[in-house]
A and B are shown apart, each in its own frame.
Chain A
Amino acid sequence: MNSATSGIKSKTVIVLRAPGTNCDFETAEALASRGYSNYKLTLKELLDSAYYLQEAQGLILPGGFTYGDYLGSGVILSFLIRFKLMDKLMDFIEAGGKILGICNGFQILTRLGLLPFPGEEACVSLEPNSSGKFECRWTPLINNSRLIENFSKLPSQFYLPVAHMEGRIKLKHQQLHYQLKQNDQIAFYYGQNQPTHIYPDNPNGSDFAIAGITDPQGKVLGMMPHPERFIYSGQYPWKNKSVNFRGADLIDQFFK
């Protein structure tokens, strides 16, 4: 466990690991860099002790290929969460806890139906990229979230890396887009200045260029881009440009 060095008791976020999770270290590092404590826990550890969910203010489902994504992205872990942890997660959200799903974590949240409407049937899925390929690249994002108040402190546009094979957001029906927009549930779009369908700025061909969504309360956030891969300036690919924003700020502002 990493403890922040300041005297004030820091907020605690759980990083949920499973076989095949592979972004847990950088996710924990992003949290630590902004003064959060974190527990990196397996599902079993989380189930064996109620302590963690009581203690924590947030939970992250990090990126990776949980259980190899062998039956589809995040399917097996979402299956296990659905039948073992779902009630506890709903209680956690009810009690004010926040959940962030990044990449594989986002895929799991949509499969569980926790996004976009917790407690309802799944209505968004993350499908194979329209390029038919794995895409690893820095993409331009538009910060569109008004539900998460702190996100107004982030720039209106920034770049983050994506790395996935199944990131194309597919909505169950067109009206859903209207509904998500009405509710301000679309947190991020792909694009510079305006949402784009054009590859590679939109790396996967997502419906309406959606890169990330929240639940109607702004307590559950899912996104394909990886904010945890941008903690230090050296990680920015444009070495000669100065940039104030870090991906870790996004994580920080979400859990604040």
Chain B
Amino acid sequence: MKDNWIEIAVFKKDMLSDENLLKTANLSGIGKLTKLIVGQIYYVRGVNREEVKKLAPFIFYNPLVDHVFYDQIPQWQDQIIVIEYLPGVMNPVKQTVEKVLKEYLDGNIAINTRKIFLISGKFNRSLLVSRILSNPLIEREAALNTPVIELTNVPRNEIKPVPITDLNSEELKELSVKMMLSLNVQEMNEIQRYFKEIKREPNQAELETIAQTWSEHCVHKTFKGTFNYNSETITNLLKSTIVCATEKISRQDCLSVFKDNAGIVRIDDQLAYCVKVETHNHPSALEPYGGAGTGLGGVIRDILGTGKGAKPVAGIDVFCTGNPHVDYESLPSGVLHPRRILTGVIEGVRDYGNRVGLPTVAGALIVDSAYTFNPLVFAGCVGIIPVKDSYKQAAPGDKIVLIGGRTGRDGLHGATFSSLSLDVDSEKTSSGAVQIGNPIEEKKVIDAVIKIRDKNLIQAITDCGAGGLSSAVGEMGEKMGATVHLELVPLKYQAIQPWEIWLSESQERMVLAVKPEHLAEVEKICSLEQTEAVVIGEFTDNKRLQVYYQDQEIVDLPMDFLHEALPPKKVTAKSREVEIKEYYPSNLNLENSLVELFSYLDIASKQWIIREYDHQVQGKTIQTPFSGEKQKAPADGVSIKSDYQLDQNIVIGLGININLGKLDSYKMAYFSVEEALRNLVCGGGDPSKAVLLDNFSWGSVEDAYSMGDLVKAARGCHDAAINYQTPFISGKDSFNNTYQDGEKLISIPPTLLITAVSTSCKLPPGTVFSENSEDIWLIGPFKPGLGGSYLEKTLQQGPTFLPEIDPALSKLIIRRIYDNLESFRCLHDISDGGLLVCLAEMLMTTGLGAEVVIDSPYDLEQFLFSESPSRFVCSFINNKVPSALIDLPLIRLGRTDDSGLIKITHHHKTCKIEVSKVEQCYFRDKI
């Protein structure tokens, strides 16, 4: 090996195939592999060979189980493939190990890593590399025995102005596209107007700063735009619907809404919680593992940057992907296979969440071909914060302190990229937008920030997310001004331009405002937590954002231009008409229908995902995602203790319904709020203390029908919030989730995730029956209509008409259930798949059966499979119905027995379903 690298290859002694990877490879249509052995190669430089050999058994390999090879690899008659990170891509292993060894050996030591695969079989080598063994965006195949290439110093470009004042509209538009600014002509004109006025041309860094600050990601300009909806004009859609509902409800315990990184809600006099849910769709489409991981990492930092710093205590993850069984050849090049997306995002959340020590407690999975080209990743986080730390305010003279990981070229243009449509070239042009996370760096930053907060050393804090320093500093200094010296920012490597330092979205960084007299203590705490803290500038009172690199000024913009000059966006919206068909399925084989419904990943057990997440770390989890004697049945809501010493639990319920979204986005929004509250109350949450979060993932802002759906959904959110008196405290929108396939623009269906959060001291009843002879009750009104149901999806019919909701009754039912929670033996809400799915879920894993008599004027199929809202199946302690419930719609469906069968009698006809048979299908490995 050249360049004095010592090469250490490590394999397990048993030399067994990685079975999971082998399976994935063999399912990917690239041939047939018979063996796939994974090894690691470490490269070490700066230490002599003897020393390395002495230390290696204690750090690079374990003599008990590993084989080690120095400067050679094992004999292997078949193919060998070596994969490495592209130069400049974050390598967490290198970063961590180098730091530790440098400290220990005091030398100028360098480390690098590669993965090595020993493979047998008949397969297409290049497809194996690109589909399975690497992601070409961040990795590449390396030739054996070649030295590791590292980025070397390159001279920094001179800072050149970008001439715009003489351009016409067409040229401005071209410039926006070329520079990936994601700004429209109107916005470019406004920028031009400003620079004409001050009689100079902007620097690249200035244009980039404006683009970031004016991005959809940072200012929600579409949602706040002026909508021309049919013949109506709506000024600021967000304010007139969702925010308006919150203002009308005006709840005293909501300490901060729509202002900070996350909404803050009071638990008691001392303590509050905060919640945020983010989307990380585009990055996850290109690099699922890194995208989902950094999505979670980002929302954790949102929480850490709320108020004067909140401690992250629970994670939420929802994925929407294409069908993992779709044929590889049917996908355009550049689109990752849904199977890879799904396994990638699960592993991404697992490795980031588990390592950072955040229990991932709540989630959902939606699989639909509509998400093949645009998968969605929602990542949420709950935090705990002392009430006194809920508000922040930096002041002129405060130092700007950057804490955490070093800055590199990763994640450039994230905020603007997230507003673009994807296409075949996305994987090339946007490669900078991909981020790789280092959860251990994040954990150190969390520990440091909470310690600093508890010593009252933070004036203000925010995360370095989309837009990097430009957004973080620009936001914090909005009301006063800020000066930054970029040469002070610690870098991962020197090959980086000043504007890139300013815009970089390198992960695991936080920006703090600290009084000068507190700096020494802040630095001391960070050093103990082994993370860097560096002063990079200070807040001023000149209301300007001024950025320097050494003595050159690269940004000088007035804060009011940056934050107020964005011209309001005009949006054209039209309502969509969906043609309703009438059909009534009959004579279905119920068992077969259940088996078919359980073949949907959305409905089937999510155990295979959930167990990969450590949902109990931090020791506060009260209601896990599982229920029942075997702890395998799905729980509806989940809860965590707000504090070890407090009885108040924080309860989370989710609602998402894309089948309705395709038909009627108003109902989707309303029903999703109701579903989230149903789950919440089943998890023990008090509905009168509940708050909501909205996450919109939508199609093109240029598509009037898509925007019409947005208006309807926003109104649905408003009306539901008012009905249940549950305010929205925070939200997020992601537009242009579209894919340009040649001439055709493929769009996702309107997708809205509602998160309901509340506090309560109540423990939830389980979701499954426990024994023989429990009376089975159905609470809630039945409303006919199979529209938007999973049965409709399996029958490939429709759409037929949608069920209605009775707002007042729905609210009353949720309230009464909560008030009488102690009387329930078990309680499960009816959602995806309808009543029969619900009943089966309550019997599976118990060995029990049930005898059910349906006495309904509607046909059996509608009764069993309608997803009509506001309904629950339950049993009561001692079979005693609490008197407070008897005026609700309440039907005794039947009774549990030990038959292991569900026997359903309707109009003197009985059909039987074998529980163990559908159970097998429900729990079967799906991918």
Contacts and interface: CB of A to CB of B under 8 A. Distances in A.
Contacts of B649: 234
Contact of B440 (A68, A72, A123): A68
Contacts of A132: 18-20
Given A172-B64, A239-B763, A71 B611 contact: no
B618 A78 contact: no
Nearest to A236: B622
Interface of B: 18-20, 55, 58-60, 62, 64-65, 92-93, 96-97, 100, 104, 350, 354-357, 438-440, 443-444, 528-530, 610-622, 624, 626, 629, 631, 641, 644, 649, 763-766, 770
A237 B624 contact: yes
Interface string A14-28: 000001111101100
B619 A71 contact: no
Q: Top 9 closest A-B pairs, CB basis?
A: A22-B357, A26-B619, A68-B440, A163-B614, A70-B93, A65-B355, A229-B619, A134-B612, A20-B440
Contacts of B641: 232, 234
Contact of B528 (A42, A68, A79): A42
A125 interface: yes
A187 B619 CA distance: 23
A190 to B, nearest CB: 15
A134 B444 CA distance: 23
Given A134-B350, A238-B629, A240-B766, A64 B357 contact: yes
A178 interface: no
A135 to B, nearest CB: 6
Contacts of B763: 234, 239
Given A135-B611, A136-B616, A163-B617, A71 B104 contact: no
29 contacts: A20-B355, A20-B440, A20-B443, A26-B620, A26-B644, A33-B644, A42-B529, A65-B355, A68-B93, A68-B440, A70-B440, A76-B96, A76-B97, A76-B100, A79-B55, A132-B18, A134-B612, A161-B616, A163-B614, A163-B617, A170-B64, A226-B616, A226-B619, A229-B617, A232-B641, A235-B621, A239-B765, A239-B766, A240-B765
Contacts of B58: 75, 78-79, 82-83
Nearest to A69: B355
B60 A71 contact: yes
Contacts of B613: 134, 136
B766 A235 contact: no
A138 interface: yes
B622 A235 contact: yes
Interface in A132-182: 132-138, 161, 163, 170, 172
A230 B620 CA distance: 9
A25 B641 CA distance: 13
Given A67-B440, A125-B65, A237-B624, 9 more contacts: A20-B439, A26-B618, A67-B97, A68-B440, A71-B60, A72-B62, A125-B64, A163-B614, A239-B766
Interface in A72-89: 72, 75-76, 78-80, 82-83
- Residue of A42, A137, A172 with most chain B CB atoms under a 10 A cut-off: A137
Nearest to A40: B447
Interface string A53-73: 000000000011101111110
Contacts of B620: 26
B527 to A, nearest CB: 9
Contacts of B610: 136
Contacts of A71: 59-60, 93, 97
Contact of B644 (A67, A137, A231): A231
Contacts of A228: 619
B96 A136 contact: no
Contacts of A42: 528-530
Interface of A: 19-23, 25-26, 29-30, 33, 42, 44-45, 63-65, 67-72, 75-76, 78-80, 82-83, 111, 122-125, 127, 132-138, 161, 163, 170, 172, 226, 228-232, 234-235, 237-240
A65 B440 contact: yes
A72 to B, nearest CB: 7
B408 to A, nearest CB: 18
A204 to B, nearest CB: 12
Given A137-B611, A235-B621, A45 B528 contact: yes
Given A19-B530, A22-B443, A170-B65, A229 B59 contact: no
Nearest to B643: A29
Q: Is the interface of A mostly helix, strand, loop or mixed?
A: mixed
B611 A70 contact: no
A163 B766 CA distance: 23
B619 A239 contact: no
A234 B760 CA distance: 13
Contacts of A44: 528
Given A45-B528, A79-B58, A231-B644, A22 B618 contact: yes
B619 A237 contact: no
Contacts of A72: 62
A69 B440 CA distance: 9
A27 to B, nearest CB: 8
A59 to B, nearest CB: 19
A23 B764 contact: no
Contacts of B355: 20, 22, 65, 68-69
Contacts of B626: 237
B92 A68 contact: yes
B523 to A, nearest CB: 15
A109 to B, nearest CB: 14
B106 to A, nearest CB: 13
- Residue of B357, B610, B631 with most chain A CB atoms under a 10 A cut-off: B357
A237 to B, nearest CB: 5
Nearest to A32: B644
A103 B690 CA distance: 36
A199 B19 CA distance: 17
B628 to A, nearest CB: 9
Nearest to A200: B611
A68 to B, nearest CB: 4
B72 to A, nearest CB: 21
Given A67-B100, A163-B617, A125 B62 contact: yes
Contacts of B357: 21-23, 64-65
A66 B925 CA distance: 32
Nearest to B608: A133
Nearest to B622: A234
A80 B100 contact: yes
B622 A127 contact: no
B440 A134 contact: no
Contacts of B104: 79-80, 83
A179 to B, nearest CB: 16
A106 B349 CA distance: 25
Contacts of B356: 22
A45 B92 CA distance: 25
B62 A136 contact: no
A111 to B, nearest CB: 7
Contacts of A33: 644
Nearest to A22: B357
Contact of B612 (A20, A127, A136): A136
A75 B10 CA distance: 14
Contacts of A234: 622, 641, 649, 763
Nearest to B105: A83
Contacts of A80: 100, 104
A235 B528 CA distance: 33
Given A76-B97, A80-B100, A237-B626, A29 B619 contact: yes
Contact of B618 (A25, A134, A161, A170): A25
A44 B92 CA distance: 22
A20 B765 CA distance: 35
Nearest to A25: B618
Contact of B96 (A63, A68, A135, A230): A68
Nearest to A137: B611
B612 A133 contact: yes
A228 B641 CA distance: 15
Contact of B443 (A19, A78, A122, A134): A19
